[in-house]
Amino acid sequence: MSALDKLWQALDERLELEPIVEFIRHKVVPTHRHSWAYYFGGLTLFFFFVQVSTGILLLLYYRPTAEAAFESVQFIVTQVPFGWLVRSIHSWSANLMILSAFAHMFSVYFMGSYAKPRELTWWSGFALLGLAMGFGFSGYLLPWNTLSFFATQVGTDMVSKVPFAGAWLLKFLRGGSEVTGATLTRFFGFHVAVLPMLTSLLLGFHLALIQRQGMHVPASLEQESKRRKPIRFVPNFMMREGVVWLLGLAALAALAAFFPWDLGTKADPFGSAPAGIKPEWYFLFVFETLKLLPAHIFGIEGELIGLGAFAAGGLVWFLVPILDRGRPGGGRGRTFFVLGWLVLAYIVGFTFASFAGVFK
């Protein structure tokens, strides 16, 4: 018996690992013409790992104060060996992670994978997307440049519209009435402590649910899935996922080398806001919609109505496993299928229109 076998035996005796190995050995992933959609979740996970590792490297030099934040990022990208690469990959990976998470969410939605018994997976995934956007919002401010400073001012200002708790929430987020060094410090705290902790817990829960329940096969693809031989999770699916991860890595490397993330100019709290100020692309559809609304609708502030509508829309999206009762003959309801396409068209349409300058 080799030393490795002895070690395994010792661990198995103490931790009863054999059932887990058996589970993995027999775990399979169904195949059908849409099984490519199963890779988006893993790809999002890959970008999350990249974020964690590059984020730790950035932490070695980053200083979260209004006086030193911009200079420390400048130091990272100019003086630290490969600092430019780490910072650029961190920024690009953040955006690709959100993109991949959106792709994952819509693929899950259109395949109706949110239905019973996978409601908890949908809800935890929904919360994870919210946390990812929270990462993006809090991380955007950290370089303390002009654009991020004023975008944070606009973004946090929206919170003040929340009825009753708005003023308190604004003060809580900003650490005062204005965006200052106190805001930067607490955004840093959210970004590197609070959000990672919550994400790790939820991510563990989300992955455990997927392992426990297996991949969902839509009713319309069940026959095809039965005809085709499923693939083993280990090693076949993991190796395929590995190819996708390598593709993601290649995209990150190319983007970081050819389009290094711009640092901009240091924020001047007493300066005037630059023209054409915009949030990150994944908030653009909300931002542009709110801008289009009139100042008052039926005597109520337009922005408040807009935010209320987004909150209601988000709630419907969240509750879709309960609201969609499915078709009598099986499969998901047509109403929610059409709704999904409308939401996707709205988000994509508004985002591209914003980049194209349609709303100027």
Partner 1 sequence: MRCSTAVATLAIGLATAARAAAPAAHAAPAAPAGATADTCLSCHATLTDERLRKPAELAKSDIHLTQGITCAGCHGGDPAAADRAAAMDPRKGFVGVPAPRAIPELCGSCHSNAAYMLRYAPNIPTDQLSQYRTSKHGLALAKGSTDVAVCSSCHGAHGVRPPSDARSPVYPTRIVATCARCHADVALMNKYGIKGNEVAEYEKSVHYAALTQKNDLSAPTCKSCHGAHGATPPGVSSVANVCGTCHVIQLERFDQSPHKDAFAAIDQPACEACHSNHAIVHPQDSWIGVADKQVCAACHSAGDAGATAAGALSGALANAVAAEATVGARVARVKRAGMLMDAAEVKLQDAQQAYIMATVEIHTVTPARVEKQTAAAIADTVAADRDAAAAEREIRFRRTGLFISLAVIALAMVTLIFKIRSMER
Q: Which residues bind partner 1 (CB under 8 A)?
A: 74, 77-78, 84-85, 231, 235-236, 239-240, 242-243, 246-247, 249-250, 253-254, 257-260, 262-263
Nearer to partner 1, 83 or 321 (CB): 83
Q: Which is nearer to partner 1, 85 or 284 (CB)?
A: 85
CB 26 to partner 1: min, Å: 17
**Contact between 302 and 293 (Cβ < 8 Å):** yes
Q: Which is nearer to partner 1, 70 or 102 (CB)?
A: 70
Sort strands 231-232 and 296-297 into parallel, antiparallel or unpaired. Answer: unpaired
Q: Which residue has the tokens 């190995």?
A: 21
Closer by beta carbon to partner 1, 167 or else 234: 234
- Contact call for residues 105 and 125 (beta carbons, < 8 A): yes
What tokens does 268 get? Answer: 């001047």
Nearer CB in complex with partner 1: 73/307: 73
Residue 35 and residue 163: Cα distance in Å, rounded?
44
The b/e string for 117-147 (b: 16+ C-beta within 10 A; e otherwise) is ebeebbbbbbbbbebbebbbbbbbbbbbbbb
Q: CB 110 → partner 1: shortest distance, Å?
A: 27
**Closer residue to partner 1 in complex, CB, 14/227:** 227
User: Considering beta carbons, is residue 2 or 272 the nearer one to partner 1?
Assistant: 272
CB of 260 to partner 1, least distance (A): 4
Q: Nearest approach, Cβ of 143 to partner 1 (angstroms)?
A: 12
Least distance between partner 1 and beta carbon 5 (Å): 24
* Residue 181 contacts residue 66 (beta carbons within 8 Å): yes
* Beta carbon of residue 146, minimum distance to partner 1 (angstroms, whole number): 14
Residue 302 contacts residue 310 (beta carbons within 8 Å):
no
Compare residues 77 and 293 and give the one whose CB is closer to partner 1.
77
Cβ 111 to partner 1 shortest distance, Å: 24
Are the C-beta atoms of 346 and 285 separated by less than 8 Å?
yes
In whole angstroms, the minimum distance from the beta carbon of 253 to partner 1 comes to: 5
